[in-house]
A and B are shown apart, each in its own frame.
Chain A
Amino acid sequence: MRMRAFLCLVLVSSALSALMPEGNARASVRMIMGLLGICMIAAFLRETLLNFL
């Protein structure tokens, strides 16, 4: 579920970067999306590890 959310985030980020013009706004959006993505991946890894332990 978390990975699907991550997938949606990646796709939204790609769509935004494809549609938005070059500039600070686009870079900021990408940065925010990237940080969210990192948080999601970290949560997924934590959850997977906890499943094993």
Chain B
Amino acid sequence: MRKVFLCMLAIFAFAFSALCEAGQAIDFSHIQAQLTYEAEMIDLRQIFTEIMSGEFSIEPGQVMDKVTGAVYGRVGSVSKFLTKAAFFMLMTAFFKRLTPEGKNAKGAHLAIHLIVALSMYKEISVFFALAKEAIERIASLIDALTPIFVSVIALTGDAHTSAFITPLGAFVAGALSTYFQKGAFRILEALACLCLAGAVSDLPLGKLTDTVRSMFKWLIGVIVSVFLFFMSTGGAIAGAYDGAFLKGLKFAADSLIPIVGSDIAGKMESITGSAQLVKSAAGVTGVIALVSACLMPAIDVFLAMWGLRALSAIVQCVSDKETTNLADSFSGVFSLMFSLILASLCMAVMYAGVFVGIGRRALF
């Protein structure tokens, strides 16, 4: 028995030396590569080092200042889109008033609306590409973070949590790249087409548009619910197993080894505590990377959504019904796009949260 515990002590000693180098061994280059967004870079290694040394602090005031600064920074680029949209809407109203009522007026109005709607659709496709890129970036980050999480979590002795993290990461990355990118974006593009057709033509497409919108909401709801179910059940079970295992190991060392048993148990606590610090630092760094990866596109889409909504309200008094409806419908498409980015971000952040928060600490 004594030999077994001496062997375990040696293993923990090796684990401690590996732990000391873990901070240096974590390779942030793959993650860092995903964060380039209009030449704005965040130094993840510095953040990780600051967390490890206890210098890093997140205060709500600071976060709000950063978000406000980012919003102000994005207003310029979104205002170009809104200016174009306002120009199109006003030009439609102007031409419609110039066109005399008559037999051929309907065709002329359709042509004007069509030009405006297609121009706005072309502008919106830029935001589609942005949102798609953001979700792709989150999926790539999850792929890059999972091996880091697994290697760090192995140091803390959480074998079951480690075995749970890998399939969870695969599920999140798969859901983002398959269901969200290939499925949800297809539906969203279809919805934009239907909004355009419904606003311009006289065909009754309201029910079809509502059905496609409802499909989109259900798709996101089902995927997020499956993820939450998987995460809450699997994470809790894995954490409980690891907690029981390490608590039992400590108790055995304390009670079975004479004289030095309590010392060994104490060392085990301090070693796993240090590993927990590395684990938490890597997790928080991962969360910061995930938020940074999609913050700017999310702000762009959010500003475009509210800008179009405000524009349609302001221009309504001079514009016609079709153009106002078009702006309102496109604003709805933006709101769904925003919810898609937020759902992806929430899933990714909760995945990183499993790594930071759930574990055997609940049992100590």
Does chain A bind chain B?
Answer: yes
Q: List 11 A-B contacts (CB under 8 A).
A: A6-B193, A10-B197, A10-B201, A10-B205, A11-B200, A11-B201, A14-B110, A18-B106, A18-B107, A48-B187, A48-B215
* Complex partner residue of B193 from A7, A15, A18, A19, CB under 8 angstroms: A7
User: Interface digits, A1-41 against B, CB 8 Å rule (1 contact, 0 not)?
Assistant: 00110110011011101110000000000000000000001
Of B110, B186, B189, B201, the most chain A CB neighbours within 10 A belong to: B201
CB distance from B192 to the nearest CB of A (A): 8
Cross-chain contact B201 with A51 (CB below 8 angstroms)? no
**Inside 8 A of B193's CB, which chain A residues have their CB?**
3-4, 6-7
* CB within 8 Å of A: which B177-202 residues: 179, 182-183, 186-187, 189-190, 193-194, 196-197, 200-202
* Complex partner residue of A48 from B106, B183, B196, B197, CB under 8 angstroms: B183
CB distance from B256 to the nearest CB of A (A): 54
Interface residues of chain B, those whose CB is within 8 Å of chain A, are 106-107, 110, 114, 179, 182-183, 186-187, 189-190, 193-194, 196-197, 200-203, 205, 208, 215
**Inside 8 A of A44's CB, which chain B residues have their CB?**
190
A-B contact count (CB 8 A): 46
- A6-B193, A18-B107 in contact; A11/B114 too (CB < 8 A)? yes
**Inside 8 A of B196's CB, which chain A residues have their CB?**
7
User: Interface digits, A40-53 against B, CB 8 Å rule (1 contact, 0 not)?
Assistant: 01001000100110
Cross-chain contact A51 with B183 (CB below 8 angstroms)? yes
* Complex partner residue of A15 from B107, B182, B186, B190, CB under 8 angstroms: B107
**Inside 8 A of B208's CB, which chain A residues have their CB?**
41
